[in-house]
Amino acid sequence: MTSHPICTSSAASAGAADPFIRDTVRWLERAVIGLNLCPFAKSVHVKGQIHYAVALTEDPGAVLGQLRSELTDLVATPAEVRDTTLLILPQCLHDFLDFNDFLGEADAVLEALGLDGTLQIASFHPGFQFAGTDADDVTNCTNRSPYPMLHLLREESIDRAVEVFPEAETIFERNIEVLEALGATGWDALDVGPHSTAPIPAGHTGEQLQ
């Protein structure tokens, strides 16, 4: 397995972050890459260009502070070294509706830094639910991750990926078909949920706000 860089809120907490990163890499390899949910993920993973950051806090305000640092670091680092960042939130925003609301604040940080159009923020959540679906609908798993997560991407990298993969607009429909064929039992068999024994607050799920 590729060695993955680690960034946490302090040097002393690096060991505490390791289990959450391992869980995220397992999900990436088995679900995102294994099911080809994102055709662009394998390349940056194999090249070690994914930066894994863990916010070990229950305070959304502190998450915004770390998000600001991660956005700044990403844009200042050559893409061949760090193409994208996954900011993992294992102890915060476990309520999906709260997480949805938080995304507006995250985008506000991006705009305040003047990076709108240079970077963008995508998101994953263990309780993700498309509007109009049941909570146990397996198609929700296309956007479900072990922990709440902010995915920081470069606009240029997205543009390049789309150029070499003109079928990009069909990814969503294909992923729905893949998950429906896999079924809930097949998804569970991937074993991509949280494995860490660290305490995580009980959360709730809710519809995606659209």
Tell me the pLDDT tens digit for each residue of 55-102. 999 999 999 999 999 999 999 999 999 999 999 999 999 999 999 999
pLDDT value for 9: 41
* CA-based nearest residue to 207, from 150, 135, 148, 138: 135
* CA-based nearest residue to 130, from 206, 203, 209, 208: 208
pLDDT value for 16: 86
Return the structure tokens found at 165. 């993969």
Return the structure tokens found at 210. 């659209």
pLDDT value for 165: 75
pLDDT value for 10: 38
pLDDT-derived band at 206 (thresholds 50, 70, 90) equals very low
Task: Please give the helix or strand (H or E) that residue 105 lies within, else none.
Answer: helix 96-112
pLDDT-derived band at 14 (thresholds 50, 70, 90) equals low
* CA-based nearest residue to 131, from 63, 210, 30: 210
Rounded mean pLDDT of the chain?
Answer: 87
Residues 140/96, Cβ–Cβ less than 8 Å: no
**Rounded Cα gap, residues 121 and 162, in angstroms:** 17
Measured CA to CA in angstroms, residue 75 lies from 36, 70, 89, 104, 146 at distances of: 27, 9, 21, 20, 26
Through-space distance between the first and last CA atoms of the chain, rounded to whole angstroms: 38
Residues 27/145, Cβ–Cβ less than 8 Å: yes
pLDDT value for 104: 97
> Position 74: which residue type?
L
Residue 111, φ and ψ in degrees, nearest 5: -70, -40
Return the structure tokens found at 157. 């990298």
pLDDT value for 32: 97
Q: Which of 65-69, 122-126, 164-168 has the lowest mean pLDDT?
A: 164-168
User: Tokens 């680690």 appear where?
Assistant: 6
**Rounded Cα gap, residues 34 and 208, in angstroms:** 25
